[in-house]
Amino acid sequence: MKLLRFGPSGQEKPGLLDDNGVIRDLSAHVTDLAGEHLDRHALESLAKLDAASLPEVPADTRIGACVSGVGKFICIGLNYSDHAAETGSQVPPEPVIFNKWTSAICGPDDEVIIPRDSEKTDWEVELGVVIGKAGRYIDEADAMQHVAGFCVVNDVSEREFQLERSGTWDKGKGCDTFGPLGPWLVTPDEVPDPHQLDMWLEVDGKRYQDGNTRTMVYQIPFLISYLSRFMSLQPGDVISTGTPPGVGMGQQPPVYLKPGQRMRLGIEGLGEQHQTVVADQQG
């Protein structure tokens, strides 16, 4: 099942994408794709609905972030060995964890805003894992039972804020619009192996990232188990699992985003995002 949220920002309703690519309104059956509604049993009851009987939503409707009520937006750094190499880093002996502030979350096709004083805004296509069931000290063998679904994430990053301004990476990761999520939350039954998915990102039609989740260093069950030693995981939490090579920082010379440019990124079976880059009007 491909679940999504549609409508104006802040007023999104839940929906699903039917087998013909038509968006159907789910709001008579679930209030939002958040919290307890992400539980596997709740999602199974949605899957039993007759999609053709649900109201059709116009195709040009805005798509919002595919999950709501995100309590934590957790990212894994340097989780592809070839990406670590392009940034001049070693693969870390344990996963690097950092945060994106939840105010960074936006729809998959919303504009990405270059923040004030930024000269190094960069891209990162990533596989996002959405938690559906709470847990702490989760065994690796049980970890996938805690997953509501998967989505595309663009871990937009400001490299100077991230790396040259002292402290942790978080300054350069959580700016507004730096967290497009979606278009769809794809349930695990449609993703037989999340570690065999092609992923790509283009800027103005030039392909910079062309990877596959098979080269992830720390895989999803391990990451869920590992994170749950340090925090409880809650329904709606998003784990962004790292990016393959081809980020702007890794180009020779480095390439960064400019207003007017267009990003197109996607993951096999999880859909595509399309973002126009804009200057900050408050800048």
Cβ of residue 120: shortest distance to Zn ion, in angstroms? Answer: 15
Size of the site for Zn ion (CB under 5 A): 3
CB 114 within 8 A of CB 250: no
Cβ of residue 62: shortest distance to Zn ion, in angstroms? Answer: 25
Q: Supply the DSSP string of 190-229, one letter for each residue.
A: G-S-TTS-EEEEEETTEEEEEEEGGGBSS-HHHHHHHHTT
Alpha-carbon gap, residue 227 to 249, rounded angstroms: 27
Closest CA to 43 of 58, 18, 25, 26: 26
In sequence order, what are the residues at sequence separation of 6 or more whose Cβ sits closer than 8 angstroms to the Cβ of residue 258? Answer: 114, 277
Region of 110-118, 151-159, 208-216, 249-257 interacting with Zn ion (CB under 5 A): 151-159
Toward Zn ion, which CB reaches closer, 84 or 148? 84
Cβ of residue 100: shortest distance to Zn ion, in angstroms? Answer: 9
Region of 6-14, 101-109, 124-132, 224-232 interacting with Zn ion (CB under 5 A): 124-132
Alpha-carbon gap, residue 20 to 260, rounded angstroms: 32
Strand partners of residue 99: 74
- How many angstroms from the chain centroid is the CA of residue 49? 27
Region of 93-101, 120-128, 227-235, 253-261 interacting with Zn ion (CB under 5 A): 120-128
Regarding 158 and contact with Zn ion (CB under 5 A), the answer is: no
Cβ of residue 262: shortest distance to Zn ion, in angstroms? Answer: 20
Q: What are phi and psi of 36, to 5 degrees?
A: -60, -20
Toward Zn ion, which CB reaches closer, 124 or 202? 124
Toward Zn ion, which CB reaches closer, 12 or 124? 124
Cβ of residue 149: shortest distance to Zn ion, in angstroms? Answer: 19
Please report, for residues 60, 216, 221, 223, 225, the alpha-carbon distance to residue 134 in angstroms, rounded to integers and kept in the order given: 35, 24, 15, 15, 12
Q: What is the DSSP letter of 146?
A: G
Region of 25-33, 118-126, 140-148, 208-216 interacting with Zn ion (CB under 5 A): 118-126
Regarding 243 and contact with Zn ion (CB under 5 A), the answer is: yes
Toward Zn ion, which CB reaches closer, 38 or 153? 153
Closest CA to 75 of 237, 265, 273: 237
Region of 20-28, 106-114, 153-161, 229-237 interacting with Zn ion (CB under 5 A): 153-161
User: Within the chain, what is the greatest distance between any pair of CA atoms?
Assistant: 55
Toward Zn ion, which CB reaches closer, 32 or 160? 160
- How many angstroms from the chain centroid is the CA of residue 44? 22
* Contacting residue, 12, 110, 122, 155, with Zn ion by CB under 5 A: 155
Toward Zn ion, which CB reaches closer, 172 or 188? 172
Residue nearest to Zn ion (CB): 155
Regarding 124 and contact with Zn ion (CB under 5 A), the answer is: yes
Regarding 122 and contact with Zn ion (CB under 5 A), the answer is: no
Toward Zn ion, which CB reaches closer, 24 or 173? 173
Binding site for Zn ion (CB under 5 A): 124, 155, 243
